[in-house]
């Protein structure tokens, strides 16, 4: 696995004090999808945005699924480790710190898997409409890594019990989890951007 194996976009930091963001799109998205969201959430951050390498009916994804909400967990584990290698190599190439993942839907699910499988790769995560990625997750030690989980109250894809289980799972692994349920469906809303921006601003302030 080489860093160039992922088609990606990189925008260097305009503000060296802002944490780099790893932008992970949803099904059918690409490396351009979340650039605008990243700029709104953390103006001045370096942005690293790869395209998923799996195609489902021509739509890019980060890992295979067997049906809606049913993941090919062997593929998910392999793809998460590949993504971790990509981030490690991209950090060296672009001279950036460990990023905060900003993932939507399929991208949020692989970000959650990456936290559990290779926690050292990420400084934290903003998980937008995420599900529990692994039915038998490894014993991860997240050591207080900050995680913001934003769920939709009317999400037809992610049941409320599933997102609550994910929040508990990450908390039990040692993450500092903030879980909010918004009056929204599966799509992103302005409230997601506002909450994410405020949250990452607080992370920034604590780091400073």
Catalytic residue IDs: 105, 155, 186
Q: What is the DSSP letter of 120?
A: G
CA proximity to 13, closest of 49, 51, 42, 40: 42
Name the maximum alpha-carbon separation found in the chain: 45
| Tally of CB atoms within 10 A around 41 | 25
Please give the Cα distance from 110 to 54 (Å, whole number).
12
Dihedral of the alpha carbons of 173, 176, 11, 40, in degrees to the nearest 10? 140
Please give the Cα distance from 105 to 131 (Å, whole number).
8
| Tally of CB atoms within 10 A around 139 | 7
Please give the Cα distance from 85 to 166 (Å, whole number).
24
| Tally of CB atoms within 10 A around 114 | 25
CA atoms within 13 A on the CB side of 96: 29
């Amino acid at each position: 696995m080489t860093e160039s194996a992922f088609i990606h976009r990189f925008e260097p930091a305009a503000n060296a004090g802002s944490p780099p963001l790893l932008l992970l799109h949803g099904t059918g998205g690409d490396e351009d999808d979340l650039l605008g969201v990243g700029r709104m959430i953390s103006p001045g951050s370096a942005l690293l945005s790869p395209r998923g390498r799996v195609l489902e009916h021509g739509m890019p994804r980060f890992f295979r699924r067997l049906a809606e909400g049913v993941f090919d967990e062997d593929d998910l584990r392999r793809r998460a480790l590949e993504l971790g290698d990509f981030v490690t190599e991209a950090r060296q190439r672009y001279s950036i710190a460990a990023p905060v993942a900003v993932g939507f839907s399929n991208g949020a699910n692989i970000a959650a898997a990456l936290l559990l499988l290779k926690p050292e790769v990420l400084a934290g995560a903003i998980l937008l409409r995420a599900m529990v990625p692994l039915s038998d997750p490894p014993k991860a030690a997240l050591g207080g890594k900050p995680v913001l989980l934003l769920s939709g109250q009317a999400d037809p894809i992610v049941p409320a019990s599933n997102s609550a289980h994910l929040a508990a799972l990450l908390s039990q692994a040692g993450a500092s989890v903030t879980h909010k349920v918004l009056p929204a469906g599966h799509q992103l809303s302005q409230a997601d951007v506002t909450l994410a921006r405020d949250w990452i601003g607080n992370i920034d302030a604590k780091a400073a």
